[in-house]
Structure 1
Amino acid sequence: MATWFTVCLILVCVLGKSLSQTAPKCKMFGIFEIIPKDDCTGWYSCVWGQPVEMPNCQQGSVFSRSAHVCVPINSIDDDCPLHERVITTSQSPLTVEEQCRQDKSAIIPHPTECQLYYNCSVNYTYIPRYFEQHLVECTYPKLFSTVTLKCEDFDTVNCGNRRETKSGCGYRSLQCPSAHCVPCFIRVPSCELMPDGINPHPERKWSPYYILCKKERFISQEICPTDEEGRTQLFSPETNLCTRLDFISREHGGLMNNCTGKKDGANADDFGRCDRYAQCRNGKFINIVKCPSGLVFDTAERKCVFRKDACAPCGGKQGCSMSERKVVLRVCYKKQNIVLPNFV
C-alpha cells in the first residue's frame, strides 16, 4: 500500500511540473475535475487533488467551459467570456418565443443588428412601431455586447457578423412613430464620413446650429453663442466656426458689406449703421469697424467724427456739398435695395 501511495505521489509531481504560478485550486481530493483556464486556451485536470496543466487547444480553437472540449473560435459552443460571440440566425433552432418560454429572464442578442436584443422579461401590451415582442434597442449610439449582455459604449463592442449602425436614423426608436414628426435626419443628423469634432449640420448649413461627431457617430447638436452685441451668429461651413453676421455674405443670410466698386479704406456701412464702417481693399470686404463711443462715421471725411460734424442722416452738419449728399443718398437707397448709378 505504501508503495502504491509513493507511486501516486511521484505521478502527481511529474504531472504537476507544468503548473503555472496562477494554477487554480481543486475542490476535493480524489474528485475528477476539469478547470478551464481564464484565457480560454486550455484547461487543468485535477489529479489526486492537484491541478495539472493539460496541453493547450490548437490555434484557432478555445476551450469550451460547458462542453469541456476545444471548439473553434466564434462557433456556437464558444462560450469564452473574453470573446464576443458571432451571432448567426442558425445558432439556435428555437424561436425567440420558444426561448423565452424556457427562460422568462433570458437576454438574447439580435441575430443581425448590433444595437438590438431580446429581453424575455419585456412584454409589450402594445408593441411599438418598428419593434416586435420582447425586442429592445440600445440608446443611440450604444451597441449591445454579447459579453456583458448589456448596452455598452460603441467603441468597446465587437459586433462580429451583426450589422453595426453608425447613423442614428438606423436606430428604430429614432424613426418617426407617426405623422407630424420632425424627420430623424434633422433631429439626429448623420456624421458618417465626417471627422471627429465639430462639423456643419448637414441639413442646416449657414444656420446657428452645428454638430459634434465622434468616430462617425452623432454626439450632440450645438448652437452658436451670440456675438458681443447680442446678435445671432451663424456656423460657417467654410471656416468651420461660429461667425458674426458681418462676415457672412448676404446670400447665406449674413450682413457682409459689398465692396465691389468702392474705394480702398473706410466706406459707409451698406445697411446704414452710423456707428461703424466697412474696410475695403481691391473691391473686397476686409472688416467692419465700430466707431469709438459717441462718434459716427462721416461719409465725406471717411472717418469717425462727432455727430454734429457728420453729414445727414448720421449727423447734423450743415452746408454739406452735393458730392457729400450724393454719397449719403447712395447709402440710404442701398438700405432699401435700390441701385443708383455711380455719382462719382
Structure 2
Amino acid sequence: MCKVTIFVVLVTTAIVAVKAESKPLSVEEICSQMPAGTFILPPNSCTHWVQCPSSANAQDYEDGFCAYGLYFNKDKNRCETMEDVVCPFENTQTDSENRCASKKDGIFLSDPENCNGYVFCMDGKEIRSTCPKDLVFHPSKSACVYPKEYQCPKKTQNVTANPICNSVANGTIFADIKDCTKYHQCVAGGKLTSLECPESQAFNYSTLECVARSEAVCHPLAPELEPEIDICGTEENVLVGYIADEESCSGYYICAKQSDGKPDRSPTYLKCQDGYFFDSGTWSCRDRLNVKCSLDRCEGMANKYVNVAGDCTAYARCKNGATVATGKCESNYFFDERTQGCTPHNISYMACSA
C-alpha cells in the first residue's frame, strides 16, 4: 500500500464550517495556510496547478497547465488522463462520495462510521467489510488489531464543500486551531472531516497524531491545553470518593465514578469553611486542631501563630496566611494555638502530635 504524504496545514478560522456558497479562497489565501512548496489545485480549475512559495516570506509562486486532454491530480502532484483524475470542480462528477474512485485496486481504507469496519477498493468501487469480533481496523497497518494497539478517533462530523479541501490532496490532516484535542482531515468530494483524540490525549500538530496530553505540541494558534487533573488516579489505579487537596489543608476533590471505568478528569473541588480542615479518614471537615496536615498550617490564619505539625512545643508565625518564621516555647512549655501563647499544660492536639 503506497503511503500518501500528509502535510500539516496552518489553518485560519475560515477553514471550519465553510458553506458551499462561500466565496472561493484565492491562491494566496490557500498557500498562506499550507507548508512551503505545497502543490495546490487553484479554485475552479481542473488543469491549472500552482506550487506555493518555498518559504513563508517568499513570493516565488510557480504555476503550470496540464497538456491537452489531461487533468491535474492533486493527490499525486502531476497531470494524468482525465479518466484517471477526479476533479472537484467538474460539475459532472458523480463519484465524489466514492473514496475508491481514484484509488488503485487492493487499497484498504478505514470506515469513518465504524471503527471495526474497513473499505477494500476493487474496480474503483468500495467493498465494505468488518474485522473479526473484538478487533478494530488500524489505518496505517491496513490490518485488524486488538483495541490496545489502536485507539479509534471519536465520532466524526463532516462539513461539506470546504474550499481548501477542494485544492489539497485527499487525506491531508491538519490541526484544529481552536482546540488542541481535535484535528481535521480532507476526504473525497472536497469535504472536511473533524475528529477528536481519545480521552486523555491531544493532537500533536508536528507529528499528525494523537499522543498523551503531556507529550502533545499544540498548533501555535491553538489555545494551550488545560492541565490535566490526575488527582483521581490512573487507569490502572482509579480513585473514587473524596480526595484531599495536595496543596492546602482545607481543600478536597470529589472523584465521581465514570461509566467507562476511567479516572474522573474533572472532579469537583471544594474547601472547608474557615477554621476547619479536611480529614481524609472520615471524609469530613473538622476543627483544624483535630486534623493532622503536613502542609502550611497558616492557611486561613492571617497574621496569627499556629501549632507546627509533629511538634507541640513549636509554633509558626503567619503573615497573610503563610508561614514567615518559626520558633519554640521554653523548656517544658507547649504552644496552644487557641490561646496564642506558650503554656505549661501538656498540649496534645492531633494537629501537632508526632
TM-score by length of 2: 0.33
Greater gyration radius: 1
Higher fraction of helix: 1
Q: Which has the higher contact order (CA 8 A, sep 6+)?
A: 2
